[in-house]
Amino acid sequence: MSITTISPHNATARLPLPEVVRQLNSHLGPTLVAAAAGVKDRGLPTKWARPDGPRPRPAAETRLLKTHALFFSIAQAESDHVARSWMIGSNPLLDDDTPITAIREDRYKDVSAAATAFLEGTPA
């Protein structure tokens, strides 16, 4: 099933976690994936992406799933480049934090609202 045929949230929910992390590593890099997950070890995302690798803790797993769904929501509407730039850019709707920081801090409603505003072209 292609990610473009269903909503990014539903596509994320259907993927095994190692594939979610593999895709994030591919688009954001393991350093940003580790930052979003709230872990200091930049090597963990590479390990999590292996089918036989360790599983992240529940809080990190939730952050990874949210990061994936948000990234692909924006990438589907815009491009991978725009989605990456949005994820790492200062955002006025997040008190000038980056979406990666907001995800790491579990501010899911705020970052979802900021993504919606971006996609709808709503001014900050």
Sequence ranges of the domains in the chain: 8-120
pLDDT (tens digit, 9 = 90+) per residue, 13-58? 899 999 999 999 999 999 999 999 999 999 999 999 999 999 999 9
Quickly list DSSP for 59-92: HHHHHHHHHHHHHHHHHHHS-HHHHHHHHHS-BG
**pTM here?**
0.91
Query: Measuring CA to CA, which residue among 96, 105, 87, 82 is closest to residue 124?
Result: 96
Residue 2 has a pLDDT of 42
Torsion angles phi and psi, residue 70, rounded to 5: -70, -45
